[in-house]
Amino acid sequence: MTSRTLDELLADGVRGRHVLVRSDLNVPLDGSTVTDDGRVRASIPVLSKLADAGARVIVMAHLGRPKGAPDPKYSISPAADRLRELADFPVAAAEDVVGESARTLSAGLKDGEVLVLENVRFDARETSKDDAERAAFAAELKALTGDAGAYVDDAFGAVHRRHASVVEIAALLPAYQGDLVRTEVEVLRTLTEAPKRPYVVVLGGSKVSDKLTVIDKLLGRADQLLIGGGMAFTFLKAQGHAVGGSLLEEDQLETVRGYLSRAKEIGCDIILPTDIVVASKFGADAEHEVLAADNLEGGRFGSTGLGLDIGPASAEAFASYIRSANTVFWNGPMGVFEIDAFAGGTRAVAGALAESEAFSVVGGGDSAAAVRTLGFRDDDFGHISTGGGASLEYLEGKELPGLTALEGK
């Protein structure tokens, strides 16, 4: 089955109707300041379409991982404030999720107005493993919409979660796929079904264990798999190299050796860094030097040195592969990009992608934050995913409950 689209909902008419929208406002914060508003900006087109058509819009979203109870540190308010600053429609914010504030403000909505509910994860039922508890919470969310409500899922970053505001609500209201979710699925389908070759995948981040399944799947699809970030040290160790005090997952060494062996058999090149920026400690003031990847304990810091970025030769090699590709998927930074001394590898990958004419996808999460932190614009890339975990699970071939829920209507 295929999901009904937002355009179909708009064609049916939404003026005067309450439309419950699952958006992704899970933004990084520094206190109460939004440090990367990419997800807020990505939510605006669908909310604008609905508001312009006269809908009374109620936005559901989560932020962080509160423990099923209100916690000021995880309030949705900073994201709602940023939405209000960026949007050209009126935005109100409830003080709770389905309590008195939410009920009063939703009942008072006028055509074209938008209400943001408080963090849905402030209610423990949102993420409960008990189906009945999630269904009960969804029923209270539905009640905010009155008799003619509808539901739009526009939060791709949450479609891999079996949560009440993603799955159960879709069984209670006429459900539609938001434009952002539709675009994400179309982009990722291109990567899985018919990527134009050469197809280069760049994987980074801290842990190889976070990406085991996607590596397994991509070995049969990609032409080159470029490995950077903290996960590279498990690969280097699997090849027999000492890695000093760098991040290492000993329990994954045999699995990684299997990947290296299999890659040779099927003709997929796994490209590892040939040099590493090694530091005396983790910090902006750390002394550091560039060492060959097969000599990481041979420098000033010996066996205690920390690898915090791929080196300049590796960065240029990775950039060269990217420039020669016709399709590129990138997930995970090449180093500790938040510290300038260890941002060179990530900057080189982002720069090569920005210059490339390839179909390029930046896989959300830390990768999206990195390109913005380093001064790149969203439109420098073919597509920046709003869902790091969801995009990886899609590429792994897993069922995404939020997508299945929309197809089941």
Catalytic residue among 17, 39, 125, 182: 39
367 assigned ligand-binding residue:
yes
- Of the candidates 310, 304, 292, the one whose C-alpha atom is nearest the C-alpha of residue 347 is 310
Catalytic residue among 68, 299, 351, 389: 389
295 assigned ligand-binding residue:
no
Please confirm, yes or no, whether 335 is among the known catalytic residues. no
Phi, psi of 265 (to 5 degrees): -65, -35
**For residues 17 and 111, what is the distance between their CA atoms, to the nearest angstrom?**
8
283 assigned ligand-binding residue:
no
160 assigned ligand-binding residue:
no
Q: Strand 199-203 vs strand 327-331: parallel, antiparallel, or unpaired? A: parallel
380 assigned ligand-binding residue:
no
24 assigned ligand-binding residue:
yes
Catalytic residue among 149, 332, 335, 365: 365
296 assigned ligand-binding residue:
no
| Token reading at 393 | 């699970």
- Taking residue 194's Cβ as centre, other Cβ atoms within 10 Å add up to 9
121 assigned ligand-binding residue:
yes
Cα–Cα separations (whole angstroms), residue 83 to 31, 37, 38, 43: 17, 9, 11, 9
Type of residue at 73: K
Token look-up 């990084």 returns 28
Please confirm, yes or no, whether 389 is among the known catalytic residues. yes
Contacts of 113 (CB under 8 A, 6+ apart): 51, 56, 57, 89, 90, 92
288 assigned ligand-binding residue:
no
Contact yes or no for 165/404 (Cβ under 8 A): no
Please confirm, yes or no, whether 149 is among the known catalytic residues. no
Please confirm, yes or no, whether 31 is among the known catalytic residues. no
25 assigned ligand-binding residue:
yes
262 assigned ligand-binding residue:
no
65 assigned ligand-binding residue:
yes
365 assigned ligand-binding residue:
yes
209 assigned ligand-binding residue:
no
64 assigned ligand-binding residue:
yes
- Of the candidates 162, 159, 96, 160, the one whose C-alpha atom is nearest the C-alpha of residue 129 is 162
Angle made by CA atoms 209, 215, 392, in degrees to the nearest 5: 80
Catalytic residue among 41, 84, 103, 207: 207
Phi, psi of 70 (to 5 degrees): -55, 135
Residues placed in the known binding site for substrate: 24-26, 39, 62-65, 121, 161
Which residues carry a binding-site annotation? 24-26, 39, 62-65, 121, 161, 211, 307, 338, 364-367
Annotated binding-site positions for ATP: 211, 307, 338, 364-367
Catalytic residues, by residue number, are 39, 207, 365, 389
